[in-house]
A and B are shown apart, each in its own frame.
Chain A
Amino acid sequence: MQRKDRLSAPCSTASEETGSSRRHFISQLAALSAGLSVVTPISRGLSETTPPARGPDQAPEEGTLVDIALQVNGTTRKLRVDPRVTLLDALRERLDLPGTKKGCDQGACGACTVLLDGNRVVSCLILAVMAQGKEITTIEGLAKGDQLHPVQAAFVTCDGFQCGYCTPGQIMSAVGCIREGHAKSEAQIREFMSGNICRCGAYPNIVDAIKLAVAEGKEAI
């Protein structure tokens, strides 16, 4: 398929013709909707036709759609995305994985923390297209069936949350923190969990949960 060729090329470029009023409408929709979910089905439809023509000096009205494959929780998921879509929005809006939460959407709160090749990152500051070829682990990929991951179990035991909104991010960050070897003392845990904000202030219990997980199940983490 023509579309697939674009991915192997170093740059996705738009060169074909389509109705510009329709595209304009779609970009307005994108601006109006909170996420890109509204645009999704229409973009899919559009991709059956063709991307817009534009001269060398014109900026694109919207990013050229690209086909990508993401490795999420051990499964390959294929997607056609606007390159503007963050990994966070791709997970939540396109891949039915809403466990990863959107807090500030600018890399300051940690609610959207996931693991990328085993390292914790904020999924709001990485584009879905950048995550191609990486192993992505979300909160949904942590438990083995009904058996909670040791860090999840420790959060339950220690009551490491109140409202629970920041919890998936806290747990993913805690897994990263423990794997990095940055959970050796209470002070170190607090320092290396500084990227995760809890508005309820469940911090003491979160620290206890991480200490418990380290004590009980480090080799499993």
Chain B
Amino acid sequence: MIPKAFDYCRPKTLPEAISLLQQHGDAAKILSGGESLIPMMKMRLAQPEYLIDINQISGLEYIKEEDGYLKIGALTREADLEASDLIRSKYPLILDTAFSIADPQVRNLATVGGNLAHGDPANDHPATMLALNAEVVATGPNGERSIPIKEFFVSLFTTALQPNEILTEIRIPAPPAKSGGAYFKLERKVGDFATVGVAAQVAVDAKGVCQQAGIGLTNAGGTPIKAEKAEEFLRGKPLDDGNISQAASLAADDAHPSSDLRGPAEYKISMVRELTKRALTKAVNRASQER
């Protein structure tokens, strides 16, 4: 398994990397952790002529709260999310998600930015970022622009990033008090891609009424899916079992997976319904434990 030949580029700064992208356009691919791209290249499913390794660019690995956002640098490794006190204490949904990805060796290299920019509906962060209403910062020749995550996933392996842009940051609006989230992923075996996965994030008031709800679906269609009908249904309602069940059915309506080795479409839709129930229930429990 040897990739098709490519030229290897190792820029030290972001402007240098962007200028290489301008020069080579679609023939170039950005290499961050490489944990998805390198296997795809080995199987020759991806055949970039230029590989632009951005790992030498400093200042893209951070996790911080600033200006009302949680900001995650694109080169932040999954293992860094797992080890972060900030993530562990305030963002259980992101912790669940990072922990569910592949295995510890892969998580030591794999990056959050790569997980999103790859545009694979089977990746786990897309659903989570959809549930959290994140924004993606793209940096190109004309500077930065912010892309709402809802508009980021265009089609299979295609995102809203232009050929001359690099994903540099993920911004998540700081959750209000009494917020909680959870990620549930059905795997055939540990480390596998999701058969389906569901990310849920809720904010409740003192009486347990839903103020905000976000639900994202992994591997339930050609792109990651935001289950908006279910989100709208929950807003302003008490998060009891009946409403959670109803929302889970609405989320399942938004899923349109295809049948494959991981199971028939009908099974996957049922699993979306069940995992949505579980994720919402756990999210509500976590939200009510918050001060």
Q: Which residues in A have some Cβ–Cβ distance to B below 8 Å?
A: 10-14, 27, 30-31, 36, 59-64, 66, 82-84, 86, 105-108, 110, 113, 116, 119-122, 125-127, 129-130, 173, 176-177, 180, 182, 191-192, 194-196
List A contacts of B55 (CB < 8 A): 130
Query: What's the Cα separation between A180 and B190 when bound, in Å?
Result: 20
Q: Which residues in B have some Cβ–Cβ distance to A below 8 Å?
A: 1-12, 16, 20, 27, 31, 34-35, 38-39, 42-43, 47, 49-53, 55, 79, 102-106, 108-109, 190-191
Shortest A206–chain B CB gap in Å is 15
From DSSP, what is the main secondary structure of chain A's interface residues?
A: loop
List B contacts of A121 (CB < 8 A): 105, 108-109
Does the CB pair B6–A84 fall under 8 Å?
yes
Task: Pick from B9, B16, B38 the residue with the most CB of A within 10 Å.
Answer: B38
Q: Which residue of B lies closest to A117 (CB)?
A: B108
Does the CB pair B53–A130 fall under 8 Å?
yes
List B contacts of A130 (CB < 8 A): 31, 34, 53, 55
Query: What's the Cα separation between A107 and B34 when bound, in Å?
Result: 11
List B contacts of A66 (CB < 8 A): 8
Provide 6 A-B residue pairs closer than 8 Å at the C-beta atoms, listed in order of the A residue.
A11-B10, A107-B102, A127-B38, A130-B34, A176-B108, A182-B104
How many A-B residue pairs lie within 8 Å, measured between CB atoms? 119
Partner of A13, one of B7, B35, B42: B7
Query: What's the Cα separation between A54 and B36 when bound, in Å?
Result: 29
* Contact A63 to B11, CB < 8 A, known contacts A121-B109, A180-B104: no
Shortest B81–chain A CB gap in Å is 14
Partner of A107, one of B8, B39, B52: B39
Does the CB pair B6–A63 fall under 8 Å?
yes
Does the CB pair B39–A106 fall under 8 Å?
yes
Shortest A158–chain B CB gap in Å is 21
Q: Which residue of A lies closest to B9 (CB)?
A: A11
Does the CB pair A120–B105 fall under 8 Å?
yes
Does the CB pair B3–A195 fall under 8 Å?
no
Query: What's the Cα separation between A106 and B5 when bound, in Å?
Result: 18
Does the CB pair A126–B109 fall under 8 Å?
yes
5 other contacts beyond A83-B8, A84-B6, A130-B55, with CB at 8 A cut-off?
A63-B6, A83-B6, A106-B1, A107-B105, A110-B103
